[in-house]
């Protein structure tokens, strides 16, 4: 069934460290052979052996309207005729910046980069430049990309799957990266008190999607906002996952909480490598060449990536009902899975938010990295492989959120629910 994938995996191990690039942890956390995908259309993936799967990864989030979305493909094809990169300003950069500022609350300015990692790194540098302070706080289990500064401390946990956190990085960086517990404001207050006046920013995934869609407890984000304002600390929402997915305006709109800086990735690129960071003009003008904080990128804002992102965002902006449709589909899947999993006698818990969902095989509340880690028990690999055999492609770990796309039909959702029996 997976013959060609197996052959490719054997060959890949010779040339690619780890054997595969993406999805990076597929085979590691669930075992078996990673499936090599040949093509994707809407919500259907086809692998190199000709097997078809209903896709719940959406390329780890970006493909919110499905793979090969016709308007995006058409726009890319037309743009590519004009050349791929100029290294000079384009009208498109202004268009996409204007659109993002219109869609997202509390921001006046946005700068485009090439990935979510780069967006988060840049936001941290801007926060350091703006506040003149050096330390920042991240939460255990929240993921902000593969930069050393984010991975350095134990506590990236879920996101590094027990892999060593970048050995050999300079101790100075390590000392600047502090960690607190998601959903536990007291743990944040403690770290702030121990580092009084030294903290530039707190960076958080408003929904801890890298622990498996762990929702903020009532009041947690409000308390965080209040603490940051009181202590003169910038609050950074890492919206790489939640941006343009939970709602048109992302987590700030969804939860009604203002962040000082936001970072984007995934959906913002329409399937191309794009990231962005944004904030008020007062903060953002610290960026060069107006301000002292240098930030640049050879291919940042390149026309092919920009046209893909711009076309997708325009579609979302013009059709906000898409977010409701997606949330309805996600709720439908949740309820259907509830029925079959309850009947099967499994201990499980499903977390859901907007178009994201995750299944933990536990019946206890999942609020932070420790409880997510405990819930991520041995039952998951079996569930993953059984679903795969039935043509359902799930994220290969219960730490990962399922990303639904609007190309999923109710028929596909029904097939998925039946497969989980």
Known catalytic residue: 143? Answer: yes
d(CA 307, CA 309): 6
Nearer to ligand PLP, 51 or 355 (CB): 355
Nearer to ligand PLP, 308 or 413 (CB): 308
Q: State in angstroms the smallest separation of the CB of 205 from ligand PLP.
A: 5
**Residues near 142 by Cβ (< 8 Å), separated by ≥ 6?**
159, 182, 203, 204, 205, 208, 210, 211, 238
Q: State in angstroms the smallest separation of the CB of 248 from ligand PLP.
A: 18
Sheet holding 44-47, edge to edge: 37-41, 44-47, 52-55, 392-393
Q: State in angstroms the smallest separation of the CB of 116 from ligand PLP.
A: 2
Known catalytic residue: 414? Answer: no
Identified catalytic residue from 143, 254, 348, 393: 143
Identified catalytic residue from 47, 176, 238, 260: 238
Identified catalytic residue from 79, 181, 248, 266: 266
Q: State in angstroms the smallest separation of the CB of 409 from ligand PLP.
A: 26
Known catalytic residue: 133? Answer: no
Q: State in angstroms the smallest separation of the CB of 220 from ligand PLP.
A: 17
Q: State in angstroms the smallest separation of the CB of 420 from ligand PLP.
A: 25
- Contact status, residue 267 vs residue 234, Cβ threshold 8 Å: no
- Contact status, residue 405 vs residue 43, Cβ threshold 8 Å: yes
DSSP conformational letter for 42: B
Nearer to ligand PLP, 240 or 413 (CB): 240
Distances (CA, A) of 261 to 89, 117, 127, 202: 24, 15, 8, 10
Binding site for ligand PLP (CB under 6 A): 60, 115-117, 120, 143-145, 205, 209-210, 238, 240-241, 265, 275
When CB distances to ligand PLP are compared, the closest residue is 116
Residue 277 DSSP SS3: strand
Other beta carbons within 10 angstroms of residue 275's beta carbon come to: 30
- Exposure on the CB side of residue 389, measured as CA atoms within 13 A: 8
Nearer to ligand PLP, 107 or 412 (CB): 107
In 124-198, the DSSP E strands lie at 135-139, 177-180
Nearer to ligand PLP, 117 or 376 (CB): 117
DSSP conformational letter for 293: B
Report the b/e string of 399-418 with b at 16+ CB within 10 A: bbbbbbbbbbeeebbeebbe
d(CA 129, CA 292): 8
Nearer to ligand PLP, 156 or 210 (CB): 210
Q: Which residues form the catalytic set?
A: 143, 238, 266
């Amino acid at each position: 069934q997976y013959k060609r994938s197996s052959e490719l995996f054997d060959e890949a191990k010779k040339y690619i460290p780890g054997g595969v690039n993406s999805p990076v942890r597929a085979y590691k956390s669930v075992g078996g052979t990673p499936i090599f995908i040949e093509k994707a259309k809407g919500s259907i993936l086809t692998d190199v052996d000709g097997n078809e799967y209903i896709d719940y990864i959406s390329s780890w989030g970006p493909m919110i309207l499905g793979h090969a979305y016709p308007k995006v493909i058409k726009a890319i094809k037309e743009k590519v005729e004009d050349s791929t990169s100029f290294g000079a300003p384009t009208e498109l950069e202004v268009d996409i910046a204007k659109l993002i500022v219109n869609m997202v609350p509390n921001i006046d300015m946005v700068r485009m980069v090439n990935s979510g990692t780069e967006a988060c790194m840049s936001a941290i540098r801007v926060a350091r430049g703006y506040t003149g302070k050096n330390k920042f706080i991240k939460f255990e289990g929240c993921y902000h990309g593969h930069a050393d500064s984010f991975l350095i401390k134990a506590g990236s946990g879920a996101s590094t799957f027990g892999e060593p956190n970048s050995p050999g990085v300079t101790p100075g960086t390590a000392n600047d990266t502090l960690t607190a517990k998601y959903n536990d404001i007291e743990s944040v207050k403690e770290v702030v008190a121990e580092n009084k006046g030294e903290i530039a920013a707190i960076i958080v995934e408003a929904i801890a999607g890298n622990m498996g869609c762990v929702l903020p407890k009532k009041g947690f984000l409000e308390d965080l906002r209040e603490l940051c304002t009181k202590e003169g600390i910038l609050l950074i929402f890492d919206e790489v996952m939640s941006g343009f997915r939970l709602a048109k305006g992302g987590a700030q709109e969804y939860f009604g909480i203002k962040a000082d800086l936001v970072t984007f990735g995934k959906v913002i690129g329409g399937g191309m490598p794009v990231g962005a960071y944004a904030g008020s003009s007062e903060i953002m003008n610290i960026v060069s060449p107006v301000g002292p904080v240098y930030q640049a990128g050879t291919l940042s804002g390149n026309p092919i990536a920009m046209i893909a992102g711009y076309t997708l965002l325009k579609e979302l902006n013009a059709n906000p009902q898409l977010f409701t449709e997606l949330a309805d589909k996600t709720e439908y899947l949740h309820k259907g899975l509830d029925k079959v999993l309850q009947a099967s006698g499994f201990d499980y818990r499903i977390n859901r938010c907007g178009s994201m969902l995750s299944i933990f095989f536990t019946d206890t509340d999942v609020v932070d990295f420790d409880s997510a880690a405990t819930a991520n028990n041995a039952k998951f690999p079996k569930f993953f492989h059984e679903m795969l055999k039935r043509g359902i492609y799930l994220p290969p770990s219960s730490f990962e959120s399922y990303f639904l796309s609007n190309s999923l039909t109710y028929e596909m959702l029904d097939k998925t629910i039946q497969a989980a029996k």
